[in-house]
Amino acid sequence: MEKQLSQYHAGSSESMTFQVSRRDFLKIAGITTTLAAMPTAISAILASAGTHGRMLHLTDLYERPALDAKIAGQYLPDSIQPILAYRDGWVRLRHGFAPETNIQPMLTARTTRVDRIPAVVEVIAPYAAVRRWCAADAPLVARPGHGAVLEAVSALDDRYGDRWLQVALSEASNGWIQAQQVQPVEPIPASRQAYHARIENHRLTLLSENHDIAQFALACPPDIPTGEHRVIQRIPAFHRADYSGIPWRLETNRGLVVHGAYWHNQFACRNSESMTAELSVIAARSVYMLLSEGSSIFVG
């Protein structure tokens, strides 16, 4: 993961040191824990959140956290930078400040090799280059971003000893990615407790026995039918024409769909796509792991 930086002027920013807290980092991912005693699944997932961010597009850096401040430089799309501090919707990076909506919080990459096939894998690189065959110069088929989830159906080592994984993009289409761009999804034991969710005011709240466990900001349309929606299908990796590897998809009996989004970080706002609610990748993993088929999502 090569860090890419356009021209910049560091000024006095290099002398300032910050350390982002786990709580502040999760705010960028749209997550608010509400109880000290969290279920094991959420604790495990939140522990996998790192303190780095991926630039979603060409990102201007400001000398101070204000849109009228002087531009200090730019980061190129998909460059990876440590998050140094967070406050009031702004993120402090090495060479300046950027709005949090420009930055995708990243999962911590493990050094786990994909040995068992078939496997569910998640992208840990800034993006995965899915190619028509297992060669770096093969035509590009898809470009799922960090946190996308794919199903690996076979593996092959090339003549250089590098491992490639064949991933399913649809019933009729496959592609190949380098294994170093992904990691297997670690299984999380199913909880004996029944969890449900509530959607209200652009927040999804996880509940156990009517107690709030955690809250997640989500982008959702304004016209979701109110009342109870029951989860009828869980799909870890979903594909459509515009995006591949849409992660952690939950479908309900009334048409509501909840899944993760790796292509933006603009949650707690409106989503124009009818009946689809989008969470950050980190939040979507938590919700998916705790809401089983039959779980209720109540829309207020």
Summarize pLDDT for 44-60 with one digit per residue, the tens: 777 778 889 999 999 99
Q: CB atoms < 10 A from the CB of 94, how many?
A: 18
Instruction: List pLDDT tens digits, range 236-254.
Output: 999 998 999 999 999 999 9
Each residue's pLDDT tens digit, 256-282: 999 999 999 999 888 877 899 999 999
For residues 184-204, give the mean pLDDT.
84
Q: What is the pLDDT of residue 37?
A: 59
Amino acid identity at 88: D
290: left (phi over 0), alpha (psi -120 to 50) or beta: alpha
The predicted pLDDT at position 93 comes to 95
Query: 49 with 23: CB under 8 angstroms?
Result: no
pLDDT of residue 296: 97
Exposure string for 211-232, b = 16+ CB within 10 A, e = fewer: eebbbbbbbbeeebeeeebebe
Higher pLDDT, 172 or 239: 239
3-state secondary structure of 255: coil
- The average pLDDT across 149-177 equals 91
- For the record, the structure tokens of 65 come out as 């956290």
- Closest to 130 (Cα-Cα) out of 159, 170, 80, 76: 170
Q: What is the mean pLDDT of the chain?
A: 87
pLDDT at 177 over 90: yes
List domains and CATH numbers for the chain: 5-107 (2.30.30.40), 119-184 (2.30.30.40), 195-299 (2.40.440.10)
Among 201, 227, 221, 217, which Cα is nearest to 296's?
227
Is 187's pLDDT higher than 90? no
Would you call 240 exposed, middle or buried from its count of C-beta atoms within 10 A (0-12, 13-18, 19+)? exposed
Residues in the chain, overall count? 300
Write out the DSSP string of 190-228: PPSS-EEEEEETTEEEEEETTEEEEEEE-BB-TTPPPEE
Residue 267 · residue 278 · CB < 8 Å: yes
At residue 115 the predicted structure's pLDDT band, cuts being 50, 70 and 90, is confident
pLDDT, one tens digit per residue, over 29-47 is 998 876 555 666 677 777 7
Report the C-alpha gap between 26 and 172 in whole angstroms.
Answer: 38
Q: What is the pLDDT of residue 270?
A: 86
Higher pLDDT, 172 or 141: 141
Averaged pLDDT, 211-222: 90
What are the tens digits of pLDDT across the range 85-98? 998 999 999 999 99
Cβ atoms of residues 159 and 35 within 8 Å: no
Looking at residue 190, what is its pLDDT? 61
Task: Give dist(CA 292, CA 191) in Å, integer.
Answer: 10
Q: What share of the chain is helix, strand, coil (3-state, %, to 5)?
A: 10, 45, 45
| Averaged pLDDT for residues 127-156 | 95
- Which residue type, as a one-letter code, is found at position 193? Q
Distance CA 75, CA 55 (A): 7
Question: Among 220, 277, 222, 228, which residue's Cα sits nearest to residue 249?
Answer: 277
Question: What is the rounded average pLDDT of the residues 113-124?
Answer: 92
How many other C-beta atoms are found inside a 10 Å radius of the C-beta of residue 136? 11
pLDDT confidence of residue 1: 35
Higher pLDDT, 3 or 69: 69
Q: Is the pLDDT of residue 13 over 80?
A: no
Q: What is the pLDDT at residue 50? A: 82
Looking at residue 269, its pLDDT comes to 87
Does the pLDDT value for residue 6 go beyond 60? no
Q: Percent of the chain, pLDDT > 70? A: 89
Q: What is the pLDDT of residue 18?
A: 56
